[in-house]
Structure 1
Amino acid sequence: MNTDLLVSTLTHVVLLPPVCLLLGLLVGLSLLRRKPRAGRALAGVSLGLLLVLFTNAGARLLIAPLERLAPPLDLARVEGAGAIVVLAAGRLEHAPEYGGHDIPDLTALARLRYGARLQHQTGLPLLVTGGNASAGHEPKARSMARALRDDFRTPVMWVEEASDTTFENALFSARILKAAKVQRILLVTDAMHMARAERVFARSGLQVIAAPTMFYGAGPLTPLDFVPSASALQKSYYASYELAGLAWYRLREAIGRN
């Protein structure tokens, strides 16, 4: 397992809410007898943060700084672009209604929809990128390409299916595109993911025009945004992961790693 994938896995499992906050709560409770003040403080802070991040209002505190870095695409800026690149997300495994094939999950589907829209508007060729193949599971990019062709009636020029991380998405896609004499691209991914993705694609030597989709922080707050929900916690988790990933990439750059 490469370093990026190891960091990603550890971050997913341990370092993000709700697991990190649940661990903080458990540690705080375990300290109550020996160090009651410290135990109450740790348990209280952990529980309070957990309740905040269980609401859309709380999730927006994490989402906002990421989405400010990724304004919507202005089509007037696409001049000179040679391709559209759509990044993979998750997958639904062995979908029975699709003959048992893996299919893109809702996040990936939203990216594909916007990528198809841009392809229809601009006529630019599409590249889809994403690997994570394993026994019984094809690379994500392959199922993405099938969805674009069959469901969105959108042609796909290139399929990059060896990458496991966003860093590798950029590295391997750049090799394909540079061989095709493409230097300037429209990059499609979630608004929260865009800052990290744009950073590594630019470092791969490509000129990047950000084309973000799925803005979770748009629109005014309503009373329901202060009501705890599982979907709000999922957004908090996603934003936390992207903030951690962006910090990791900045650390890599600071210590001189490619």
Structure 2
Amino acid sequence: MIYVFKFITNLILPPGCFIILLIALGVLQYKREKRLPKLALIVVVLIYITSIPLTANFIIHSLEYKFNPPSKLEGDVIVMLGGGASLSSPDISGIGSLSGSSANRLLTTARLHNKTKLPIIISGGSVYGESGTEAEIAKRQLIDLGLDEKDIIQEDKSRTTTENALYTSKLMEEHHFSKPILVTSAFHMERSIINFTNANIKNAIPYPADYFTNAKLTIGFESFVPNSSSFDTTVIALHEYLGMLQLWIKSII
């Protein structure tokens, strides 16, 4: 019964309700004019395809498993990339908190530090006026988790992955680091490695975190039921591919 309720809920909430509405409008138009509304049909198909778990899981999975966590941790610094933060939301030790992806990266970073005792570079500034400075918030939260402030280096100017790489490269040179363990979301790792390579950091060790999908994908009834989270996941994956396309175009111009 719980799955029936989930199914009904997904149809009531966007984008399911939009799909049903467009289908209903198409049926009414067909009854009046005896022809299929092609534009509405195309929109329905596009919304449906981009909002089902089957599509979302497949497209994000193709990014998440390009790299696997290494069995040996042989770097000399841990580099964590920010992934979003709020400016004034309440937090235990202050104001401002990290987004879900950033929080997952932070947890992985803290655990890696506990294993290796390596210093940490947190890379991430304030992307928009209403967003918090990611490096500043992450540093405060790492200290809350028991890490020593002297082991944490802030890079708080970057607003893009390209800037993450460029500013981190300067900090690494300043502190004489040469082999970073790179922590970011699994879906974001390939684009990050390209940017770090372009910034002359060619031996970064990928340590992906924050997975959307299991290592082995499965298909069930729920894979074909549209929902908003799957639509969001599809957009995240497409954003990564668009970013990599932009980097490729820059490389050949």
Query: Under a length normalisation based on structure 1, what TM-score does the superposition of the two structures give?
Result: 0.77
Within 5 Å, which residues of 2 pair with 1:14-93?
40-70=37-67, 72-76=68-72, 78-79=73-74, 81-93=75-87
Q: Which residue of 2 aligns with 1:160?
A: 155
Q: Which residue of 2 aligns with 1:233?
A: 231
> Given residue 41 of structure 2, which amino acid in structure 1 is its aligned partner?
G
Q: Which residue of 2 aligns with 1:131?
A: 125
Is the counterpart of residue 208 in structure 1 residue 204 in structure 2? yes
- Structure 1 residue 199: deviation in Å? 0.8
Q: How many residues align?
A: 219
Q: Which residue of 2 aligns with 1:172?
A: 167
> Given residue 135 of structure 2, which amino acid in structure 1 is its aligned partner?
A
DSSP-derived class of the 2:118 partner: coil
DSSP-derived class of the 1:75 partner: coil
Structure 2, unpaired ranges of 5+: 1-14, 30-35
- Structure 1 residue 49: deviation in Å? 2.1
DSSP-derived class of the 2:204 partner: strand
- Structure 1 residue 180: deviation in Å? 1.1
Instruction: Work out the CA distance in 2 between the residues paired with 1:168 and 1:227.
Output: 38
Instruction: Work out the CA distance in 1 between the residues paired with 2:234 and 2:164.
Output: 24
Structure 1, unpaired ranges of 5+: 1-17, 33-38
Contact (CA 8 Å) 2:85, 2:133: kept in 1 or not?
no
- Which is further off, 46-55 or 132-141? 132-141
- Structure 1 residue 67: deviation in Å? 1.9
DSSP-derived class of the 1:103 partner: strand
Larger Rg: 2
Q: Which residue of 1 aligns with 2:33?
A: none
Contact (CA 8 Å) 2:85, 2:131: kept in 1 or not?
no
DSSP-derived class of the 1:221 partner: coil
Deviations 1:110-130 (A, max 9, x none): 000011111111111111010
1:88–1:97 Cα change, 3 Å: closer
- Which is further off, 159-168 or 134-143? 134-143
Q: Which residue of 1 aligns with 2:186?
A: 191
Instruction: Work out the CA distance in 2 between the residues paired with 1:135 and 1:99.
Output: 22
Q: Which residue of 1 aligns with 2:3?
A: none
Deviations 1:210-246 (A, max 9, x none): 0001222214333223221111111111111111111
Q: Which residue of 2 aligns with 1:145?
A: 139
Contact (CA 8 Å) 2:89, 2:95: kept in 1 or not?
yes
Instruction: Work out the CA distance in 2 between the residues paired with 1:101 and 1:253.
Output: 40
> Given residue 61 of structure 2, which amino acid in structure 1 is its aligned partner?
A
Instruction: Work out the CA distance in 2 between the residues paired with 1:59 and 1:134.
Output: 27
- Which is further off, 59-68 or 187-196? 59-68
Find the partner of 1:109 among 103, 109, 118: 103
Q: Which residue of 2 aligns with 1:6?
A: none
DSSP-derived class of the 2:194 partner: helix
Deviations 1:14-42 (A, max 9, x none): xxxx9xxx9xx9xxx9xx9xxxxxx9545
1:123–1:90 Cα change, 3 Å: same
Deviations 1:188-207 (A, max 9, x none): 11111000001111221222
- Structure 1 residue 136: deviation in Å? 7.3
- Which is further off, 158-167 or 39-48? 39-48
